[in-house]
Chain A
Amino acid sequence: MSEPEIKAAVFKILRKIAPEADFDQIRPEENLREALDIDSFDFLNFMIALHEELAVEIPEADYRKLSTLRELTRYLSDRLK
């Protein structure tokens, strides 16, 4: 799965969680939780949806590596190789 495909899949999930957000405005280095006003419950739902959509189960210990869009797409890209 390419990084643009991963980004599209990520945005598809996040649009359900934060439907009012303008995803065109999100910069790759921006903190996703802050940019989208995502709380811990939303974030857990995001992780569950990633598991269901991409078959990737992300350990809780790795959550801190997934702050930005860039970190997230790279992490998923590595895991999906």
Chain B
Amino acid sequence: MPSLGADMEEGTLIEWSVKPGDRVKRGDIVGVVRTEKADIEVEVYRDGVVEQLLAKAGDTLPVGAVLAVIREEGEAAAPAHEEIPPAPATVAPTPSVARVRASPLARRVAQELGVDLSGVQGTGPHGELTEIDVQRAAAALKKAPTEKPVVPEPRAGIRRAIAAAMARSNREIPHYYLETKIDLQRALKFLEAENQKRSVKDRLLSVVLLIKAVARTLHDVPELNAYWIDDQLQPKEAVHIGFAISLRQGGLVVPAIMDADRKNLDELMQALRDLITRARAGRLRSSEITDGTVTITNLGDLGVETVHGVIYPPQVALIGFGRVIESPWAENGMLGIRPVVSATLAGDHRATDGHRGAQFLTALNQHLQEPEKL
């Protein structure tokens, strides 16, 4: 059972989309898991052949429990599993691995708590086990379910899941907040000209420019595109931007737009459209939930002027955008009216300081003043 959120403790298998003997490759969807927030399509992270399906539809299992065994090419067949083992700390939908990658702290904590590392799924770089993974597995060990005939509705727990994640963030992360006002006149004129050339179905939303500008700026200030794990800043090479999407039923999910920095505006718009549509239909992929490296929340549509967001651990930054407002704007000694947006940065003070955060917002502004380069 993969961990699909900072405070996810268990999930319910809704269905398998593979059967024993099926060949799978990295990124393939093998099943659907229901969490407290949504139904998530679970991907595999290695190539191989499905050897055994250990969980059945309707089973609710703790994070870390084995759902299936996937044999890699050339790997000897595993001994047959009769049933799901009662202890949940065993590897997930990904195939078992011979060598466990774990931080020294994770190993020490595992020893103290009696957790078998070979059965825990790592969420660190390259699947490395972290202290948090071990703590989570230890907590799950205490909560192994005995009978689960009913598949719970994800919406019922969505508020509780958000509450747990945000409480943890506020408890563990010393946030600092910075705000700047950005003149969007050039960006919006560029967008207007672009959209005039397009049919309605190919039009771009202004938030796409903001996402691309943030992705670009993260190359200027890479410390904000990172995780804070085991008391260390771990910069991430890929820029996977989590985008907060509100659900009509209430609550929100934050799936990631993968490799946002490498996408052009049309590709970003397509990715955003796909993500929002699937998020609202409850068909997100597990990697989209787990792999975000930074988050953007845009509350401008709701009329909010300024957003002071809460960082999603283990990320270290969240960028918020408010409503675009026509405001008096002085430039070169002249006063005019400009479309202005408030951009905020919520930063993890363990990872960066306000000086670096200010450089991020300055660079973000500069990128938005040159929209044709986005």
Contact = CB atoms under 8 A, between A and B. Distances in A.
B200 A47 contact: yes
Interface residues of B, number: 17
A47 B272 CA distance: 17
Interface string B193-223: 0011001110101110000000000000000
A33 B302 CA distance: 9
Given A40-B205, A61-B192, A51 B200 contact: yes
Contacts of B112: none
A59 B195 CA distance: 9
Give the one of B195, B201, B272, B276 with max A CB within 10 A: B201
A20 interface: yes
A58 B198 CA distance: 12
Given A20-B248, A41-B276, A60 B195 contact: yes
A39 interface: yes
B369 interface: no
Interface string A6-23: 000000000000111000
A48 interface: yes
A40 B203 contact: no
A29 B199 CA distance: 29
Nearest to B207: A40
Contacts of B203: 44, 47, 60
B81 interface: no
A39 B272 CA distance: 14
A39 B246 contact: yes
B196 A60 contact: yes
Nearest to B299: A39
A57 interface: yes
B82 interface: no
Contacts of A39: 246, 301-302
B200 A40 contact: no
B200 A57 contact: yes
Contacts of B192: 60-61
Interface in B205-246: 205-207, 246
Given A44-B205, A60-B192, A61-B192, A37 B248 contact: yes
B304 to A, nearest CB: 12
Contacts of A57: 199-200
A20 B276 CA distance: 18
Nearest to B301: A39
A41 B201 CA distance: 11
B325 to A, nearest CB: 14
B19 interface: no
A60 B195 CA distance: 7
B201 A51 contact: yes
Nearest to B302: A39
Contacts of A33: 301
A44 B206 CA distance: 11
A20 B207 CA distance: 26
A62 B20 CA distance: 56
B200 A41 contact: no
Interface in A40-71: 40-41, 44, 47-48, 51, 57-61
10 contacts: A18-B248, A19-B248, A33-B301, A40-B205, A41-B205, A41-B272, A48-B200, A57-B199, A57-B200, A58-B200
